[in-house]
Amino acid sequence: MLGIRDKRLVALRGDPKHPTTKGLVCAKSLFLPKIVHAPDRLKHPMIRKNGKFVRASWDEAMQLVGEKFAESIKKHGPDSVAYYGSGQALSEESYLANRIFKGGIGTNNVEGNPRLCMASAVGGYVSTFGKDEPMGCYDDIDHAKVFFLVGSNTAECHPVIFDQILARKEAHNDVLVIVCDPRKSPVTSIADIHLDPVPGFDLAVFHAMAHVIIKEKKHDPDFIAKQCQFKIVENGKPKKVSFEDYVKFLDQYSPAQAELISGVPAEKIEEAARLFANGPTMTFWTMGLNQRTRGVWANNLMHNLHLITGQIGKPGMTPFSLTGQPNACGGVRDTGSLCHILPYGRVVKKAKHRKEMEKIWGSKPGTIQPKPGKNTIEMFRALGRNEIKAMLILTTNPGQSLPNLSRYRDAMGKERSGKPFIVVLDIFPTRTTELADVILPAAMWSEKSGVFGMSERRYQYQPALVTPPGESRSDLDVLLDFAKQMEDRGVMPRGYVSSKLKNSDDVWNEMRLASKNTAYDFMGMTRERLKKERGIRWPAPTVDHPGTARRFVKGEDPILDHGPYADNSLNEGDIKFYAAKDYRATVWLRPALGPAEPADKEYPYILSTGRVLEHWHTGTMTMRAPELKRAYPEAYVEIHPADAKKLGLRNRDMVRITSRRGEALIQARITTMPREGMVFVPWCWDDTNSLINRVTIDAYDPGSKQPEFKICAVKLAKA
Ligand SMILES: Nc1nc2c(c(=O)[nH]1)N[C@H]1C(S)=C(S)[C@@H](COP(=O)(O)OP(=O)(O)OC[C@H]3O[C@@H](n4cnc5c(=O)[nH]c(N)nc54)[C@H](O)[C@@H]3O)O[C@H]1N2
Ligand SMILES: Nc1nc2c(c(=O)[nH]1)N[C@H]1C(S)=C(S)[C@@H](COP(=O)(O)OP(=O)(O)OC[C@H]3O[C@@H](n4cnc5c(=O)[nH]c(N)nc54)[C@H](O)[C@@H]3O)O[C@H]1N2
Ligand SMILES: [Mo]
């Protein structure tokens, strides 16, 4: 709830009537008035001329953008251009960009930072349940007795959820918390059990928990018989196996064996397994699982535990992937704004799906390409080879947030013949805008209206209440202009966008149509309704539909617990994985492989990167609130005292962190938070010495294409 005076934001507090936040907000948001009104907001378009940025009019800037994109498309084909978007853009913005590039220009080179964030969670949901569809909801927090927090610093990164878990634990002494994280992050302060695997080696722990659960007969044989199937990949192909085969497979992952692999004591694994099975258990996981070359597999193993104990679809029992960015789910995942997907559960590979979208979009038949475009890392690699010649970047800061960063900063910005043309829309000068050819000033949150979608499938409308500074404009308006440029220059059919979509409301109405007859169906979420209600969870196919709390089930509440696509023949409490083959979810037999670059003799430490409470990612916003900046004035690397001793390091010594790709120079902070052999660096500082992504690895999960930000090998030396 915002306090506005003269169209300026002056105060902010939580909305006590909001069904999910219940009035809580995180510390960062309290400083939004200072961030929104920071004096150095971008205010005018700028064009690089002879190496210097000069102010330009919107018309001049957009003409140049249009000319460069059209020239590239005409000379080198649609795949010579690309869009790189964000889970922080509004849903209408992502949807429109996707529509322009895939259905108008005809390239699937549409990606966004959720590839760095949520891709493995999506891969996990799809491979286990047949659909990317979080089936639980935040209400489950009020029913769970066991919280399994895996690779999730919920306390600092989802403080509103963490406070709710904490409150529940304080009110009920039988509520227990299991944490799985190699670092003693603040969540461990409420942990009843802390499993601390060597980074990248926790798959064995999850298997060992399953091993214990089955051995002690704490599994749910009925649920398994009715709802599950078992699969293993052999010679690159999935093969059906039996429950008995699964049990045999788990033999190699006894707790003792898992201890050897992961370093987690066997008794702790046993204890965790028993608590998990007792339940009702809600599992939350975040980047500690997703940002891994085995991210999808790690997600599958999480789901396995819920499936074999039948803890799914019932109040307080659900595997719940915590989304990172506010609109990674509703914006990028649901609208299909990644290189292989199309809106609302469709994929580019299926002719039927392409046809459906071409019809809704009014594309020329055959415009949407059947082959997936380039994933994020491959897209920036292609940029480095001058294969992609023009890129539009919006609401993300890849000049700081990509792994193996120097390579991709060069790809974007290094002067060379044939250097690609880079357009960046942002609200502040960043480590990406400095590499751009054209910088466009954007309106931000509270200055523009649209919908965002949360992890529990809730779509919520936010209105424009504040005047954007200078000449800055909403991303949606800029995309509409960009579309007009493409139409006028003959690289998109005339009227493809301009004759149909004039504003964000028009885009939303088309999105509702695109969701019709899909599992997402939100035809009932009219703009009018969204303006009145505090968000609605899809599916909500009719205007009088209240939205759907839990997927796949027929539960206690005849409406809330019974989405329109669950089968009407279900009995109460029944579950149907309607999107999966034979309606059975898959328990996967995945080998417990480790990370792409484990520690070795030459690079003996594991570098992990992550977040702190007060800062948001690249710090462009939070570093502009003096109070937040003061909380962390400079970069630091957490080093375990035993390692510091070996290295002769003392607190505040400068440390050179070197990997096979690059180095950073950062102050030592000696603490028992990381596991021995592991160092941890928050990545929110933007000065060149602290740019830790120059050190991280760009190896990615072969399934989800998500890079392994959480693990790479480094050496450390006093600088
Ligand atoms: N304050 C704040 N909040 C944020 C953000 C922010 O920038 N600042 N960003 C948002 C976004 S987009 C995201 S994606 C989320 C991220 O939220 P989180 O994933 O919770 O945060 P991270 O710090 O990236 O990583 C979480 C933990 O993963 C652990 N980890 C590392 N390796 C492993 C491993 O091998 N196994 C296991 N089990 N754990 C491991 C790390 O030790 C770390 O404590 O936060 C969101 N919320
Ligand atoms: N080492 C390391 N790197 C990581 C990660 C990690 O854990 N470790 N995590 C990865 C993950 S999970 C994520 S999600 C990414 C995030 O990486 P980024 O998306 O690159 O990081 P942000 O700082 O959130 O960038 C958002 C940008 O959008 C701008 N902005 C804000 N609002 C608006 C708006 O309304 N319009 C426009 N046009 N711009 C706006 C902000 O100023 C900022 O520059 O980073 C990834 N990189
Ligand atoms: Mo993220």
Q: Cβ(117) to ligand 2 under 6 A?
A: yes
Same domain membership, residue 151 and residue 113:
no
Instruction: Tell me what pLDDT residue 550 has.
Output: 86
The span from the CA of 591 to the CA of 205, in Å, is: 12
Same domain membership, residue 362 and residue 256:
no
DSSP, collapsed to helix, strand or coil, labels residue 428 as coil
Same domain membership, residue 245 and residue 227:
yes
- Each residue of 609-655: pLDDT tens digit? 999 999 999 999 999 999 999 999 899 999 999 999 999 999 999 99
In this structure, what token pair is assigned to residue 655?
């440390």
pLDDT: is 569 or 704 the higher one? 704
The domain boundary residue, chosen from 283, 305, 321: 321
Distance 87 CA to ligand 2 centre (A): 8
Q: Cβ(683) to ligand 2 under 6 A?
A: yes
- Each residue of 534-557: pLDDT tens digit? 999 999 999 999 998 888 887 666
Assess contact for 692 and 681: CB atoms under 8 A. Answer: yes
The span from the CA of 460 to the CA of 425, in Å, is: 24
Same domain membership, residue 376 and residue 259:
no
Same domain membership, residue 103 and residue 139:
no
Choosing from 118, 379, 444, 623, the catalytic residue is: 118
Instruction: Tell me what pLDDT residue 558 has.
Output: 61
Ligand 1 pocket test: pick from 157, 292, 612, 613 the residue with the most ligand atoms within 8 Å of its Cβ.
157
Is there a domain that residue 615 lies in? yes
Same domain membership, residue 437 and residue 350:
yes
For residues 20-48, average pLDDT: 96
- Each residue of 145-159: pLDDT tens digit? 999 999 999 999 999
State the residue range of the domain holding 175: 132-321
- Each residue of 109-146: pLDDT tens digit? 999 999 999 999 999 999 999 988 888 999 999 999 99
Same domain membership, residue 417 and residue 273:
no
- Each residue of 161-217: pLDDT tens digit? 999 999 999 999 999 999 999 999 999 999 999 999 999 999 999 999 999 999 999
Instruction: Tell me what pLDDT residue 578 has.
Output: 84
Q: Which numbered ligand comes closest to the C-alpha of 200?
A: 1
Average predicted confidence (pLDDT) for the chain: 96
Distance 615 CA to ligand 3 centre (A): 13
Instruction: Tell me what pLDDT residue 552 has.
Output: 85
User: In 396-459, which ranges are continuous DSSP H helix?
Assistant: 398-401, 405-413
* pLDDT band, residue 564 (cuts 50/70/90): low
Is there a domain that residue 693 lies in? yes
CA-nearest residue for atom 4, ligand 1, is 157
- Each residue of 254-273: pLDDT tens digit? 999 999 999 999 999 999 99
pTM over 0.75: yes
Is there a domain that residue 126 lies in? no
The span from the CA of 294 to the CA of 707, in Å, is: 10
Characterize the bridge pairing of strands 458-462 and 536-537.
Answer: antiparallel
Per-position b or e across 702-715, b if 16+ CB within 10 A of its CB: ebbbbbbbbbbbbb
Tokens 């509702």 label which residue? Answer: 512
Same domain membership, residue 340 and residue 301:
no
Same domain membership, residue 362 and residue 236:
no
Choosing from 26, 157, 209, 287, the catalytic residue is: 287
The span from the CA of 526 to the CA of 248, in Å, is: 52
Least confident of 211-220, 425-434, 552-561, 606-615: 552-561
Same domain membership, residue 387 and residue 287:
no
Q: Cβ(658) to ligand 2 under 6 A?
A: no
Number of domains in the chain: 3
Active site residue 287: yes
Q: Comparing C-alpha atoms, which of 239, 213, 231, 201 is closest to residue 128?
A: 231
What percent of the chain clears pLDDT 90, i.e. is strictly above it? 93
Is there a domain that residue 708 lies in? yes
Q: Is pLDDT above 90 for 575?
A: no
Residue 669 Cα distances to 168, 445, 580, 634, 651, angstroms: 33, 35, 48, 11, 5
Ligand 1 pocket test: pick from 163, 287, 621 the residue with the most ligand atoms within 8 Å of its Cβ.
287
Q: Cβ(46) to ligand 2 under 6 A?
A: no
CA-nearest residue for atom 10, ligand 1, is 324
- Each residue of 320-331: pLDDT tens digit? 999 899 999 999
Is there a domain that residue 21 lies in? no
Is there a domain that residue 355 lies in? yes
For residues 54-75, average pLDDT: 98
Residue 92 Cα distances to 95, 160, 367, 480, 526, angstroms: 5, 26, 21, 11, 14
The span from the CA of 660 to the CA of 159, in Å, is: 35
Q: Is pLDDT above 80 for 605?
A: yes
Q: The domain that contains 105 carries what CATH number?
A: 3.40.50.740
Is there a domain that residue 294 lies in? yes
Active site residue 325: yes
Active site residue 339: no
Distance 680 CA to ligand 1 centre (A): 11
The span from the CA of 191 to the CA of 553, in Å, is: 31
Q: Is pLDDT above 70 for 562?
A: no
Contacts of 478 (CB under 8 A, 6+ apart): 62, 425, 440, 442
Ligand 2, closest atom to CA 398?
20
Same domain membership, residue 264 and residue 234:
yes
Is there a domain that residue 31 lies in? no
Same domain membership, residue 209 and residue 177:
yes
Q: The domain that contains 300 carries what CATH number?
A: 3.40.228.10
Residue 383 Cα distances to 38, 208, 380, 392, 424, angstroms: 33, 43, 5, 12, 15
Q: Which numbered ligand comes closest to the C-alpha of 696?
A: 2
Amino acid identity of residue 585, one-letter, is A
The domain boundary residue, chosen from 297, 321, 345: 321
Q: Is pLDDT above 90 for 680?
A: yes
The domain boundary residue, chosen from 513, 539, 569: 513
Q: Cβ(441) to ligand 2 under 6 A?
A: no
